[in-house]
């Protein structure tokens, strides 16, 4: 009787005995170790190698000892068949050495006994690399398909489920090698964690389909399709909210049905060298954004083209207003292309992108800014390409200068120059002399000052009044240009004046300038 036939007969008795080793030994005359070896060879050796246990028709001879070595060190029968072509004519020592060399993964260069076949291009890689590729894709900040490391094709939904769930189910009778203890030890991820990864992947994909209006069965991602762009599109990055998404767990089931999705326009996050600059803070759902909003920081700026008021954006500072574009940071009109949308924000700083709070103009860098010197949009064309004044309430157009246009109109510029003069006087303490004897600003000066400066002067006056001492004191007061001006103490009555520079009060309270 041949070796192959003998093992077949023993395994048949083993199956008739309910796969019970003790019961099988009662109907055979072989020892337990021999029976266990026969069962391992029958269940875990590839059929093409199993036939080589008998040398017939020019087939190479495979000994039982070598067959057991292959079963222990190369778990996947498909990979056994793959490597046997290169070791079948070798000696025992050479076969063992060659198996060790072929057990090295092409991706991680590590030794492994469990090699899986990629479903797309039929290449072998170790089980650890395969599941790590899937894990990294699912746990990434953005949603992406799980791609083959060899041919870069995307895994279908069925293949994703096979990778993360069905390999652990052990329900396929044709894959008895997956039901062994050696296979369990070779797994990188436990079943709970792998199943959570699959749930998260399917939940995010389902949410994206709903956001894009793919609610009908015919519109959703086909189970055997590799083209994810048909469903998720090409213009946006999608990702689960980084603030409220449940954490991944290796020990308990996680429910991802309530996960929230955020999106970012791909063009908005293109950094220098065409590299996407993605940060966790960019992927926040509407609810989490509302929690992080600073309600007092409601900064408004107006479009330099048409004057439309715009609230400070949550993300990209490249503002789209009708058919024209502008920068919310520097308030300059920008080109409606990649240079205006992206390169204008490439400052050379780490993570520079339109999402950051600086641009080339704000940092005064000696680089091309792609700012429009003149504009022919419908709003600016009728004003000879001039932008609006930077003042929020002013709708006048600015005047040209040697390079382009001024930041402010002539009226606001004159007012600003006058304000600078008053601010300088306030800083030097000179406007104190514009107070009348009643302690208020004279009507003439009050009419010339803005409300902001008037409040600033009143605040300074009040601060001066709070500077007093609690006993009779001879204080020296500097009056600036008008030393002969009358002085008023804290309670409003001057009791005694000793010269132009000092004053005393019977109450003992005095303010100092």
pLDDT in tens, 48-97: 899 888 876 556 678 899 999 999 999 999 999 999 888 877 788 888 99
**Average pLDDT, rounded, for the chain:** 80
Averaged pLDDT for residues 368-383: 88
User: What local confidence, expressed as pLDDT, does residue 158 receive?
Assistant: 94
Give me the pLDDT at residue 439, please: 45
User: Domain map of the chain by residue range?
Assistant: 3-102, 134-259, 467-513
Helix (H, G, I), strand (E, B) or coil at 300: strand
Q: How far apart are the first and last CA of the chain?
A: 119
Query: Would you say residue 308 has pLDDT above 50?
Result: yes
Host H or E run for residue 475: strand 475-476
The pTM of the whole model exceeds 0.95: no
Q: Is residue 474 over pLDDT 60? A: no
Residue-wise pLDDT for 418-427, tens only, equals 777 766 655 5
Position 145 scores a pLDDT of: 93
* 11-14 contact pairs (CB < 8 A, 24+): 11/38, 11/39, 11/42, 14/39
Q: How far is CA 186 from CA 73, 75, 157, 168, in A?
A: 11, 9, 24, 12
Enter the tokens of residue 476.
């020296």
pLDDT tens column, 400-420: 888 888 888 888 888 877 777
Helix ranges restricted to H, 319-403:
338-341, 378-381
pLDDT tens digit string along 154-175? Answer: 999 999 999 999 888 877 788 8
Enclosing H/E stretch for 133:
helix 127-138
Q: What is the pLDDT of residue 414?
A: 85
Query: With 80 as the cut, is the pLDDT of residue 476 above it?
Result: no
Q: How many CB atoms lie within 10 A of CB 50?
A: 20
The answer to whether residues 134 and 160 touch, using CB atoms and an 8 Å cutoff, is yes
139: tokens are: 């746990």
Higher pLDDT pick, 27 / 91? 27
What is the pLDDT confidence band of residue 150, given thresholds at 50, 70 and 90?
A: very high
Burial class (CB in 10 A: 0-12, 13-18, 19+), 318: buried
Q: Look at residue 238 in the predicted model and tell me its pLDDT.
A: 92
Residue 117's pLDDT band (cuts 50, 70, 90): very high
Owner of token pair 């590839």: 46
Strand partners, 435: 441
């Amino acid at each position: 009787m041949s070796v192959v036939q003998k093992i077949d007969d023993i395994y048949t008795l083993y199956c008739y005995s309910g796969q019970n080793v003790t019961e099988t030994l009662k109907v055979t005359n072989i020892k337990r170790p021999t029976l266990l070896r026969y069962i391992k060879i029958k269940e875990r050796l590839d059929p093409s190698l199993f036939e080589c246990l008998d040398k017939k028709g020019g087939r190479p001879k495979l000994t039982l000892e070598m067959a057991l070595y292959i079963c222990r060190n190369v778990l996947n029968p498909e990979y056994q068949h793959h490597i046997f072509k290169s070791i079948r004519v070798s000696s025992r020592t050479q076969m063992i050495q060659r198996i060790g060399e072929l057990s090295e993964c092409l991706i991680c260069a590590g030794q492994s006994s469990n090699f899986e076949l990629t479903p797309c291009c039929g290449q072998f890689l170790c089980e650890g690399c395969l599941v790590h590729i899937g894990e990294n894709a699912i746990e990434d900040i953005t949603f992406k398909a799980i791609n083959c490391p060899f041919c870069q094709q995307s895994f279908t939904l069925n293949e994703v489920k096979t990778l993360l769930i069905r390999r652990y189910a052990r329900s396929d009778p044709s894959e008895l090698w997956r039901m062994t203890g050696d296979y369990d030890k070779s797994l990188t991820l436990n079943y709970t964690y792998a199943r959570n990864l699959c749930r998260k992947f399917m939940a995010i994909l389902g949410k994206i389909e709903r956001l894009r209006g793919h609610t009908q069965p015919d519109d959703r991602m086909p189970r055997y399709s590799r083209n994810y762009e048909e469903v998720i599109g090409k213009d946006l990055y999608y990702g689960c909210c980084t603030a409220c998404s449940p954490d991944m767990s290796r020990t308990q089931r996680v429910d991802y049905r309530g996960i929230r999705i955020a999106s970012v326009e791909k063009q908005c996050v293109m950094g220098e060298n065409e590299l996407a600059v993605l940060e966790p803070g960019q992927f926040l759902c509407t609810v989490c954004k509302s929690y992080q909003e600073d309600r007092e920081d409601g900064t408004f700026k107006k479009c330099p083209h048409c004057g439309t008021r715009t609230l400070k954006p949550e993300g990209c500072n490249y503002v789209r207003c009708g058919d024209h574009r502008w920068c919310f940071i520097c308030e300059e009109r920008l080109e409606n292309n990649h240079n205006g949308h992206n390169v204008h924000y490439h400052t050379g700083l780490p993570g520079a992108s339109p999402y950051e709070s600086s641009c080339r103009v704000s940092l005064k860098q000696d680089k091309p800014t792609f700012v429009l010197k003149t504009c022919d949009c419908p709003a600016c064309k009728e004003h000879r390409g001039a932008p609006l004044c930077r003042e929020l309430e002013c709708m006048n157009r600015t005047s040209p200068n040697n390079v382009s246009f001024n930041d402010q109109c002539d009226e606001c510029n004159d007012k600003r120059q006058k304000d600078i003069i008053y601010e300088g006087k306030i800083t030097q303490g000179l406007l104190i002399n514009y107070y009348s004897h009643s302690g208020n600003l004279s009507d003439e000066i009050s009419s010339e000052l803005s409300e902001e400066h008037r409040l600033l002067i009143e605040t300074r006056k009040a601060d001066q009044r709070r500077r007093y001492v609690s006993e009779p004191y001879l204080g020296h007061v500097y009056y600036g240009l008008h030393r002969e001006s009358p002085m008023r103490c804290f309670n409003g009555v001057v009791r005694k004046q000793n010269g132009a520079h000092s004053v005393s009060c019977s109450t003992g309270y005095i303010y100092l300038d």
